Amino acid sequence: MARKRNKRQTQPRQQTPPLPLEERIERARRSLTNGHWKEAIDAYKRLLKIESRDEWREGLADAYLGRAAELAGKEMYKEALVFLENLSALGCRRETAALQTACLLLAEKTAQAVQHYLDVKQTLPRQQDDFLQSLFAARVIAGEEKLLKAFPENSPIVKHYGPINAALTAWCAGDDEDARQLLKTIPYRSPYRDLRMILTAVLLQSSDEQAARELFSRIDKASPFAGMMTVMRLGVLTGPEWLKAVSKLGPAAKKYALTNKGVNDKIFALFSRMQKGARSAKELFNLLAAHARLFDAKTIRQTCLNLLLGFPAGAKRYAKQFGCPSEYDDARINALIAEQQSDWEKAFNCWRELLKIVGEADEQNRLRSALIARRLADILKKHFPPSPTACEQMERMLLFSLRLDPDDKPSYMALLDYYDEMEEDDLYRKCMDRAVKQFPEDSDILMEAIELALARNTFKKAAGYAKTLLQLDPINPRVRGALIRAHLSHARKQIKAKKFHLAEKELNEADAIEREAQSTGIIQIHRGLLAFAQGDVETGETQIEKACRRAGSHLTTYFRVVVEAERVGLSARAVKQYHALLKQSAAAAPDKEGIPALIRAIDSYTIENDAALGRAMGLVAKYLKKGAGLEYQQEEMAAVCSMFEQLERHDLLQTYADHALKKWAEEPLFVYYRLYGKCSGNQFLLRPTEMDMIKDAMLLAMERNETDTVKRIHAFMVHNIPLDLPIGFGDFDDFDDDEEW
Amino acid sequence: MAEPFDLLGVEPSADDETIKKAYLTKVRAFPPDHAPDEFQAIRAAYEAIKTEKARVAYELFHHSSVDIASLWHDLVGDPPPRRPDSTLFKKMLDETLKQYRLPADRLR
């Protein structure tokens, strides 16, 4: 080091050649303009050494003022005052009175600050005067009451001190009403205005948080009371936000914040530690268990119990430190842990255990039991392979839950869904009647009821439900469709009974509901058939032609005419031209538009499951068969197959499934459709190799969690394949409460 | 989601009416157009506990969140604020004034 220093000393200083004067002037001006005060001061000082020019002195004065303000903005008030003195010594006139007063006060030269303020007060712009007064007011409140003596008695700083100090004392003592009244006596333009707003806001915090926030937000960030406002508004924060904010505070503010929350230092330190470091349930559990004494015994016990969900291995320490959990807590926590681990068998058994523990002693426990039973039904449905036992148990759980808590729509819907799947028509109807009684204005329930009524040919009932539903939901297209179907069904009945005027009335009602954009031409077809039934061929043909235009497809319309004609009791001879037209249209090559349109038309009949449909299908079977080779999406193909399955068109089902398997080899759903079609739904006709194929398809579907496919295959094979059920699916006699159903 | 009771500022024993009132107060403070995230959280909290059945289901099935906010709620809660004595208040103001940064530009 020494050698280096010597070396440096021995080197001759390199003198930089002096810049030309013009450039030095320009540099000084540029520094000033850019707010580089230090450089500007230096530059102007050098220039003034060359020559005492007024413009350079003015430049230096500006630089001094800029530098003073810069230092004051960095809380370096004493240093700022030096530059203000330098400025004063230059003899240049600048407005420094307010800045100097503030710097004197904040540099704790209080007496000088007051004197200076009183000397310059008259010259100050109003805004600056207001600011300085609030700065003095803050210092007074912060403990420098002696300042008050220096101000005239009529000064607002003195006049308003009494009420604001009394309001503060009243608030600290919890005398809120007194505090409110005292704050009201302080005028808006008081130097204590911001403190008045802060106290008003904290008084409002518990009753009107929004108004409190609004008041806090009105305090200028540059106000001397702004720091205080930041601390006071912490009162509305909790948890992590509060911890984060408090950790940034000074000692007094932190003490205030802790006092305000009723939190001691140790709790604060523990939470700060958890917030910084501990993130996992294990870390949190261990930290809290180690500091359990800091908290209420019951609360910390419950909190640690809840943490076991994320840290099951802590159960041993928990039992040692807090004692064994209650039977209720034990079963509940274990069930939730099992669910988290997707151990559904264990979860099922734990919830069942809890169901027994909870019982039905009071209303609260009956509700708990109902909810647990629903949870069990849900687990059975979603996480167990379908089996007659599981289905039965699910039904029992749902019935049990509805006995304890009849006001639960999802349970009715689940039960209806179950009866529908199991084809338990009587139970479905009974359940539906109860559901409608329980939820007379619920759109989901009413929609289901409409479909049921239509399927049972109780048209008036269906129309009644649909009208109620349309009143509740006037733009629901499904209801409109259902209501139209109800009127059409009734119209067909009237045509068949030769009560043509009544049929006309029904069709008029259907017409009034239908929206033209959604029309399939079905009403016009019925009008046409009504005309044919009355012998008016010309009107009949006009109406059918109108229907073709509405539907946009002759093939579909002729198909519908053939089906509907039989349903209204018209002889094939009466509409023979449409049989011919249908055959003619179906002889054309199928296309991507024609097939789906026809399928949609066929699909619209599936819920009514009419024999006439089967016969009409015979006329378009070849057309449909040829359509199997078209390019379908997998979902489209699955939908088509599902429809053929429902229609029991096994030949078409097999054809389409064969084509599907060429594209999606071994796809479980299509394997099922192919084999179902091949044996016409009779599983006893399957060969052993085909039995193996369907078993493999089922296993693959289970692996992929394709619940619908599993259910289909299971329903088909249930009498042939013994399914392995999970342990614990034994008795449910304890919950067999469905006698009243 | 933070504990719904904590978020709405109600006790677990609160009834439907109290919870609804607390929810509406919160929604007024955090309207969806101004504070969409807060509103969504408040809405979710309300849905989770708005009826007795929902509260019982919450008690039975909810997994306590492993977060500081939930632990804070469980262990510290939101007790009514305690008032400081006026000396501490003044000391705190003095402390904040010492950290005060003068808006010097406004005074030039």
In single-letter form, the type of residue at position A40 comes to A
Which of left, alpha, beta for A265 (phi over 0: left; psi -120 to 50: alpha)? alpha
Phi, psi of A37 (to 5 degrees): -65, -45
Chain B CB contacts of A259 below 8 Å: 82, 84, 88
DSSP assignment of A478-521, as one string? HHHHHHHHHHHHHHHHHHHTT-HHHHHHHHHHHHHH--GGG--S
User: Exposed, middle or buried: residue A11 (CB in 10 Å: 0-12, 13-18, 19+)?
Assistant: exposed
Could you say which of A396, A429, A462 is where a domain stops? A429
pLDDT band for A503, please (50, 70, 90 cuts): very high
Q: Is A277 on the interface with B (CB under 8 A)?
A: no
Is it the case that residue A139 has pLDDT exceeding 70? yes
| A42: Cβ contacts below 8 Å, ≥ 6 apart | none
**Within-domain flag for A134:** no
Could you say which of A429, A448, A481 is where a domain stops? A429
pLDDT band for A36, please (50, 70, 90 cuts): very high
In single-letter form, the type of residue at position A228 comes to M
Is it the case that residue A334 has pLDDT exceeding 70? yes
Least confident of A182-196, A235-249, A354-368, B88-102: A235-249
| A554: Cβ contacts below 8 Å, ≥ 6 apart | A548, A581, A585
Average pLDDT rounded to a whole number, residues A23-28: 89
| A628: Cβ contacts below 8 Å, ≥ 6 apart | A652, A655, A656, A658, A659
Whether A528 contacts A543, CB under 8 Å: yes
**Length of chain A as a residue count:** 741
Whether B27 contacts B95, CB under 8 Å: no
Report which DSSP code applies to A514: -
Give the count of domains, chain A.
2
DSSP assignment of B7-75, as one string? HHT--TT--HHHHHHHHHHHHHHS-TTT-HHHHHHHHHHHHHHSSHHHHHHHHHH-----SHHHHHHHH
Is it the case that residue A738 has pLDDT exceeding 60? no
- Placement of tokens 């708990």 in the chain: A368
| Per-residue model confidence (pLDDT) at position A8 | 47
Chain B CB contacts of A226 below 8 Å: 96, 100
Which has the higher per-residue pLDDT, A330 or A572? Answer: A330
Report which DSSP code applies to A312: G
Say how far apart CA A235 and CA A253 lie, in whole Å: 12
Is it the case that residue A62 has pLDDT exceeding 60? yes
**Within-domain flag for A480:** no
User: Exposed, middle or buried: residue B41 (CB in 10 Å: 0-12, 13-18, 19+)?
Assistant: middle
The residue of chain B nearest to residue A304, with distances taken between CA atoms, is B71
Whether A726 contacts A384, CB under 8 Å: yes
Could you say which of A379, A404, A429 is where a domain stops? A429
Chain segment A275-318, per-residue pLDDT in tens: 877 678 888 898 899 999 988 888 899 889 888 888 888 989 99
Is it the case that residue B1 has pLDDT exceeding 50? no
Say how far apart CA B31 and CA B99 lie, in whole Å: 35
Sequence spans of domains, chain B: 4-81
Tell me which fold the domain B4-81 belongs to.
Helix Hairpins (1.10.287)
In single-letter form, the type of residue at position A682 comes to N
Token reading at A506 = 């029904």
Interface contact A228-B83, CB threshold 8 A: no
**Within-domain flag for A460:** no
| Per-residue model confidence (pLDDT) at position B5 | 87
H helix runs in A568-706, sequence order: 576-586, 594-606, 611-627, 634-647, 650-663, 668-678, 688-703
Report the share of chain A in percent with pLDDT over 90: 33
In single-letter form, the type of residue at position A544 comes to I
Nearest Cα to Cα of residue A564 among A639, A640, A651, A488: A488
Chain A CB contacts of B88 below 8 Å: 252, 255-256, 259
| A43: Cβ contacts below 8 Å, ≥ 6 apart | A24, A27, A28, A31
Q: Which of A174, A206, A274 sits opposite B68 (nearest CB)?
A: A274
Q: Which of A127, A231, A280 sits opposite B92 (nearest CB)?
A: A231
Is it the case that residue A737 has pLDDT exceeding 60? no
Least confident of A640-644, A687-691, A727-731: A727-731
Q: Is B83 on the interface with A (CB under 8 A)?
A: yes
Chain B: give the shortest CA distance to residue A310, in Å.
8
Phi, psi of A323 (to 5 degrees): 90, 165
Report the share of chain B in percent with pLDDT over 70: 94
Chain segment B47-69, per-residue pLDDT in tens: 999 999 999 999 899 877 667 77
Say how far apart CA A467 and CA A453 lie, in whole Å: 13
Tell me the average pLDDT of chain A: 85
Domain span holding position A675: 632-733
Interface contact A367-B56, CB threshold 8 A: yes
| Per-residue model confidence (pLDDT) at position A335 | 94
Say how far apart CA A213 and CA A553 lie, in whole Å: 65
| Per-residue model confidence (pLDDT) at position A607 | 52
| Per-residue model confidence (pLDDT) at position A450 | 85
Token reading at A595 = 């097939």
Is it the case that residue A516 has pLDDT exceeding 80? no
Interface-testing mutation among B95, B98, B105, with chain A (most A C-beta atoms within 10 A):
B95
pLDDT band for A660, please (50, 70, 90 cuts): very high
Q: Is A471 helix (H, G, I), strand (E, B) or coil?
A: helix
Say how far apart CA A184 and CA A166 lie, in whole Å: 12
**Within-domain flag for A365:** yes
Work out the angle at residue A616's Cα, subtended by the Cα atoms of residues A615 and A621, and round it to the nearest 5 degrees.
95
In b/e form, how buried is each residue of A52-80, taking b as 16+ CB within 10 angstroms?
A: eeeebbbbbbbbbbbbbbbbbeeebbebb
Say how far apart CA A144 and CA A625 lie, in whole Å: 99
Half-sphere exposure (Cβ direction) of A316: Cα atoms closer than 13 Å: 1
Say how far apart CA A461 and CA A453 lie, in whole Å: 6
Whether A377 contacts A397, CB under 8 Å: yes
| Per-residue model confidence (pLDDT) at position A11 | 53
Interface contact A238-B72, CB threshold 8 A: yes
Which has the higher per-residue pLDDT, A241 or A349? Answer: A349
Nearest Cα to Cα of residue A341 among A383, A285, A286: A383
Interface contacts (A, B; CB < 8 Å)? 201
Interface-testing mutation among A303, A358, A378, with chain B (most B C-beta atoms within 10 A):
A303
In whole angstroms, how far apart are CA A740 and each of A400, A402, A408?
Answer: 11, 11, 18
Q: Is A665 on the interface with B (CB under 8 A)?
A: no
Chain A CB contacts of B2 below 8 Å: 239
Chain segment A64-87, per-residue pLDDT in tens: 999 999 999 888 999 999 999 998
- Secondary structure string (H, E, C) spanning A574-589: CCHHHHHHHHHHHCCC
Least confident of A112-116, A442-446, A669-673: A442-446
Whether A650 contacts A681, CB under 8 Å: yes
Q: Beta-strand (E) ranges in A16-109?
A: none
Chain B CB contacts of A173 below 8 Å: 83
Interface contact A77-B102, CB threshold 8 A: yes
CB atoms within 10 A of CB A144: 17
Least confident of A5-14, A243-252, A698-707: A5-14
| Per-residue model confidence (pLDDT) at position A723 | 40
Average pLDDT rounded to a whole number, residues A348-373: 92
Say how far apart CA A675 and CA A654 lie, in whole Å: 7
Chain segment A152-191, per-residue pLDDT in tens: 899 999 999 999 999 999 999 989 999 999 999 999 889 9
**The domain spanning residue A395 has which CATH number?**
1.25.40.10
Report the share of chain A in percent with pLDDT over 70: 93
| Per-residue model confidence (pLDDT) at position A475 | 73
**Within-domain flag for A678:** yes
In single-letter form, the type of residue at position A430 comes to K
Is it the case that residue A729 has pLDDT exceeding 60? no
Say how far apart CA A305 and CA A319 lie, in whole Å: 10
Interface contact B79-A95, CB threshold 8 A: no
pLDDT band for B2, please (50, 70, 90 cuts): low
Is it the case that residue A721 has pLDDT exceeding 60? no
Chain segment A439-468, per-residue pLDDT in tens: 888 888 888 888 878 777 777 778 888 888
Chain A CB contacts of B107 below 8 Å: 69, 72, 98-99, 102, 128, 131
Chain segment B5-51, per-residue pLDDT in tens: 878 888 888 999 999 999 999 888 888 888 888 888 899 999 999 99
Whether A604 contacts A551, CB under 8 Å: no
Q: Which of B61, B81, B102 sits opposite A73 (nearest CB)?
A: B102
Is it the case that residue A371 has pLDDT exceeding 90? yes
| Per-residue model confidence (pLDDT) at position B83 | 82
Q: Is B34 on the interface with A (CB under 8 A)?
A: no
Q: Is A196 on the interface with B (CB under 8 A)?
A: no
**Within-domain flag for A603:** no
Whether B70 contacts A276, CB under 8 Å: no
Nearest Cα to Cα of residue A132 among A153, A159, A151: A151
Nearest Cα to Cα of residue A447 among A426, A468, A428, A475: A468
Q: Can you say how many angstroms the Cα of residue A395 is from the centroid of all Cα atoms in its chain?
A: 31
In whole angstroms, how far apart are CA B3 and each of A47, A458, B53, B63, B68?
Answer: 69, 50, 17, 10, 11
